[in-house]
A and B are shown apart, each in its own frame.
Chain A
C-alpha cells in the first residue's frame, strides 16, 4: 500500500472515531429542537464518555471474562468497520482485507458479543435484551446484506471502495434498484442503531428497551466504550448510506490528498443533514410493539430482495 493510502486510511479512521460522538450529539440536539425541548450541548456525548472513563467500574457478581472483554471487542469491531467504510476517499488499503460481507460480519461479531455478555450475568433484563437484540438482528442483518448486494451487483464488486468508486465516478446512471435498497437501508439502520420506531435509546422502560437492556449492568469505562462503539456504529451506518446513495464528492483513489481533504466539509454537511433527517424520523414516528418489529424488518428485507430482483430484471 502507498504512504498516501496509509495516510488517508488513518485519517478516515481518526475522523470516524473522533466525530462519532459528535454525530450522536447532533442528532439528540435536533430531536430536542424538533420536540421543542431545550437542547443539550452538542458535545454532551464527549463529556459523558470522559466522565464514565474516570469512574470506578462496578462489575456484577458472577460476571465471567466475556462480560469484561465485551466492550473492548465491540469497540474494536466498530473501529474495523469504520476503517473499511469510505467516508472521505475510496483510497482505503484496509478495505482489501474486508469487503461488504465482512462488514456485516463485523457488525454480527459485535452483536453476538453484546448478546452473550448480556446473558452472562443471568438477570431477567439481560437475557430479555439479548433475545430481542438477536431477534432484531436476524432480520436486519440479511436486509443490510441484501442492500449491499444490490449495490455490488451494480458495480460487480463486494468491496465497498470499488462500489463507491463506480457509483461516484462513473457517468451518471439511474439505478431504480437503488431506490428500493435506499428505503430498506433506512429501515435497517433505524433498527440496528436502536432508534425509534424499533427501539428507544432514551428509556429504560422494560417493555420497550432492547439495546439498553443489554448494557444495564455496565458502568464506567466499560459503559463508555460501549457508548462510543454505539456512536461509531451510527456513524458507520450513516457513512455507508451516504457512500451508497449520495456518493458525490468522495475522492477517488488517484485524486491525492487535496481531494481527500476537500471531501471533508462535504461529508460534515451530508452527515448533518442525515442526522437531522434521522431526528425527524424519530420524532414523527411512534415506538412500535416489539412484535411489530419483524413485520417492519421483514418489509425491509423484502424491499432489499426486490431491489436485487429489479436489478436482475432491468440489468444494471
Chain B
C-alpha cells in the first residue's frame, strides 16, 4: 500500500536521526561526513520537500505514536499549514545540506561527525515541531531544536564571543519556551487535555484568549527575534558556521512564525482586532529597527542577521494585518494578506539562505567577516558573486524577482483596506504602509552596501588576491537557491494558487481565484484595480536590453579600450579610498542618530600610516531593558544570599521559628 504523507514525514525524521547517529560512529572522519552524511541528509530533505508540497491542500491526517507521557502520547498531525512549512524546511535544508558537504573543514572546535549529528538532529527537531499535535511533543521538539542549534552555534567554542552568544541565545530561547508552555497551559482552558485537538475545540473567555495570544507572541517572538527579544539574533547568527546561520535564519525563524500562526488562527478561535494592531505595530517597529541597524553594520553576517530581524518584522506586521481583517470579517483581504505573509516567508527562506551561504563561501575564501577588509571578490569568485547578486536584488524587492511579489501583495492589502469600523485603525493603516515602504527602501540601501562592499570595487586587503571560488557542492547549492528566487519571482500566480488551501484552512475563505487571474497575471480583487505579471516585465526588460544591445552593435562599432580609472583625474588612487562599510552607512547613522548607542568611535589621526575609521554601535534596548533586569535579579539574589550566613545558631533559629510558627498556625 502507498504510505501516507505523515508516515513519510516521520520516516524522514527517523532518517535524519539515523544519519546523525552515523556521525557519532566516526566523529573525526571528515571525508565520510562530508561526502556521505550531508548528501544523504540533502536527499532526505528533498524527499521531505516533495512530500510537503504534495500534502498541501490534502485532508489533514493525524496519528499517535506510543511515545512521550503515558497519559499524553505523541500526537502527530499534518495539515496544509504544516505541510507548507515542511516544504519550506525541506527545500531550504536540501540546499544547505548540499552546501555543507562542501563547507565543513576540520577545525579545533566540535569534530565534524558531532557537527553532523547536531545538524541532523536540528533538522529532525524542526520537522517534528511542524507535525506536533500536542503540547508535550511540541515542547520536546521545540526545545530539542533550541538545544541542537545552540550546540551548532557554539561549534567554535574556543572563542569567547561565540560562547557568550550561544549562552544568550539559549537563555532567551528558554524564556521563550517558558512563555509558550504557559500559553499552552492557558489554551487548554482547564480541560486538562493538552492535545491540540481539544485546544481547537476549546472556547476561551476573552481575557484568557488575549493572555494566550500575548504569551504566544512573546514565546514565538523570542525565537523569531521580535523587539525587544531580538538581542540574541545578531550575536548568534554571526557566531554560527554559515550553513547553520542559513538554517537558523532561513528555516528556524520560520518555525516561530509557524507556531504563531498555529496558535493565533487555529488553536485560538476568534481573534480580537486590537491584537492585530499590537502585532502590526510591533512588527513594523521591528522591521524598521532591523533595517536601520543593518545599514550601519560592518560585519557581513551581523548585517544579514539584522536584515533577518527586519524581514521577520514585516512578516509579523502582515500577520497583524491578517488578524485585523479577520476580526472584522473581511476574509478576502485577510486571505490576500495571509498569502502575502506566507509568500514572504518562503521568499525569505530562499534569499536569506542564499546570502548566508554566499557569506560562508566568502568567509572560507578570505577568512574575513568584516566588510572593511573585503572587496573586489567578483573577479576572484565570479560564481558566488553573480549568484549573490540574484539574492541581493531579490531581497531588495526588485521586480521581477521574488522579494518584490510578496511586498507587492502586502502593499495591495494595505492599500485596499476598506474603511474599517475603527477610525483609529483607518488612520493607522496608511502610516503602517508608509513604514513598510520605508523599510523596503532601506533594505535596498543595505543590500547595495553589502554587495558593493563585499564583491565590487577593488580588494581592500592584499590577501584577497588569493581568494578561490566556491567548490562544486557550494556552487550547486547556490545555483539551486538562486533559481528558486527567480522562479518564485516570475511565477507568482502559481505560487499563490499553491498557498491558497492554507487561506481556506486558517481564514475560511479562499483568495486564489481572485489572486491568480490566470497563470500569467497576479490580480487581487480584480484586474482593474491592480495586476502584476512578473514574467512579462522580465521578458520586456530583457527584450529591450537585448534589442538595444543588438541595435547599438549593428549601428556602431563595439570598440572598447581598457584604461586606468579616471576618477576626476585624481592621481594615486588606492583601494583604501573606497567607502568602507562605516563610510557607506554613515548617512543613515546621521539620520537615525537617536536610534544608536555609539560605543566607541575610533578616528584616525593625521599621522597614521594606515588610518582606519571604525565605529562600534550598540542598541539601547540592552541598556534600557536587559541590564536593569539583570541588575535587579542580582540584587534580589544578593539579598536572599544573606539567609545563608554561616552561623549555626541562626540556622537553628530558623528551624525553631518555623516550628513555632507552624504550631501557632495549627492551633
Asked whether any CB of chain A lies closer than 8 Å to the CB of B583, the reply is: yes
Q: State the CA gap A189–B560 with chains docked (Å).
A: 34
Asked whether any CB of chain A lies closer than 8 Å to the CB of B588, the reply is: yes
For residue A154, give the distance in angstroms from its CB to the closest CB of chain B: 11
Asked whether any CB of chain A lies closer than 8 Å to the CB of B541, the reply is: yes
Q: Does the CB pair B437–A145 fall under 8 Å?
A: yes
For residue B288, give the distance in angstroms from its CB to the closest CB of chain A: 12
For residue B335, give the distance in angstroms from its CB to the closest CB of chain A: 18
Please give, as numbers and ranges, the residues of chain B lying within 8 Å of A132 by CB-CB distance.
Answer: 587
Contact for B437 among A109, A123, A146, A158, CB less than 8 A? A146
Asked whether any CB of chain A lies closer than 8 Å to the CB of B565, the reply is: yes
For residue A18, give the distance in angstroms from its CB to the closest CB of chain B: 14
Interface string of A16-43 (1 = CB under 8 A from B): 0000000000000000000000000000
For residue A31, give the distance in angstroms from its CB to the closest CB of chain B: 24
Please give, as numbers and ranges, the residues of chain B lying within 8 Å of A152 by CB-CB distance.
Answer: 415, 530
Q: Does the CB pair A216–B566 fall under 8 Å?
A: yes
For residue B412, give the distance in angstroms from its CB to the closest CB of chain A: 7
Q: State the CA gap A159–B445 with chains docked (Å).
A: 26
Chain B residues touching A, majority SS: helix
Interface string of A108-134 (1 = CB under 8 A from B): 110110011001111111111011101
For residue A79, give the distance in angstroms from its CB to the closest CB of chain B: 5
Interface residues of A in 55-104 (CB under 8 A from B): 56-62, 64-66, 69, 72-73, 75-77, 79-80, 83, 94, 96-99, 101-102
A159 with B548, Cβ < 8 A, contacts A60-B563, A96-B521, A112-B398 known? no
Q: Does the CB pair A119–B456 fall under 8 Å?
A: yes
Please give, as numbers and ranges, the residues of chain B lying within 8 Å of A301 by CB-CB distance.
Answer: 434, 438
The segment from A191-199, A254-262, A304-312 found at the interface with B is A304-312
Interface residues of B in 397-416 (CB under 8 A from A): 397-399, 404, 408, 411-412, 415-416
Count of inter-chain pairs, beta carbons less than 8 A: 265
Q: Does the CB pair A61–B562 fall under 8 Å?
A: yes
Please give, as numbers and ranges, the residues of chain A lying within 8 Å of B586 by CB-CB distance.
Answer: 131
For residue A294, give the distance in angstroms from its CB to the closest CB of chain B: 5
Kindly report which residue of chain B lies nearest to residue A312, judged by CB atoms: B426
Please give, as numbers and ranges, the residues of chain B lying within 8 Å of A142 by CB-CB distance.
Answer: 434, 437-438, 440-441
Interface residues of B in 542-583 (CB under 8 A from A): 542, 544-545, 548-549, 552, 555-568, 570, 573, 575, 577-579, 583
Chain A residues touching B, majority SS: helix
Asked whether any CB of chain B lies closer than 8 Å to the CB of A244, the reply is: no
Q: State the CA gap A142–B396 with chains docked (Å).
A: 14
Q: Which of A73, A105, A162 is packed against the most chain B CB atoms within 10 Å?
A: A105
Asked whether any CB of chain B lies closer than 8 Å to the CB of A242, the reply is: no
Q: Does the CB pair B415–A76 fall under 8 Å?
A: no
Q: State the CA gap A97–B530 with chains docked (Å).
A: 9
Contact for A135 among B393, B427, B445, B568, CB less than 8 A? B445
Contact for A75 among B442, B544, B583, B588, CB less than 8 A? B544
Interface string of A127-163 (1 = CB under 8 A from B): 1101110110111011001100100110011110010
Contact for A157 among B399, B440, B528, B583, CB less than 8 A? B528
Kindly report which residue of chain A lies nearest to residue B547, judged by CB atoms: A76
A124 with B567, Cβ < 8 A, contacts A54-B556, A131-B583 known? yes
For residue A219, give the distance in angstroms from its CB to the closest CB of chain B: 9
Contact for A146 among B389, B434, B560, CB less than 8 A? B434
Interface string of B494-535 (1 = CB under 8 A from A): 000000000000000000000000000100000111111100
Contact for A124 among B533, B578, B584, CB less than 8 A? B578
Asked whether any CB of chain B lies closer than 8 Å to the CB of A106, the reply is: yes
Q: Does the CB pair A116–B456 fall under 8 Å?
A: yes
Interface string of B456-485 (1 = CB under 8 A from A): 111000000000000000000000000000
Q: Does the CB pair B393–A221 fall under 8 Å?
A: no
Kindly report which residue of chain B lies nearest to residue A117, judged by CB atoms: B456
Those 9 A-B pairs whose CB atoms lie nearest each other, nearest first = A122-B457, A122-B458, A119-B452, A127-B579, A60-B565, A97-B536, A76-B544, A124-B577, A308-B430
Q: 23 A-B pairs, CB-CB below 8 angstroms? A: A56-B561, A60-B565, A65-B386, A72-B548, A80-B541, A96-B521, A98-B399, A98-B533, A101-B412, A102-B408, A108-B444, A112-B448, A115-B452, A122-B456, A124-B577, A125-B568, A127-B583, A131-B584, A137-B444, A142-B438, A159-B530, A204-B568, A304-B434
Interface residues of A (CB under 8 A from B): 53-54, 56-62, 64-66, 69, 72-73, 75-77, 79-80, 83, 94, 96-99, 101-102, 105-106, 108-109, 111-112, 115-116, 119-128, 130-132, 134-135, 137-139, 141-142, 145-146, 149, 152-153, 156-159, 162, 204, 206, 216-217, 221, 225, 291, 294, 301, 304-305, 308-309, 311-313, 315
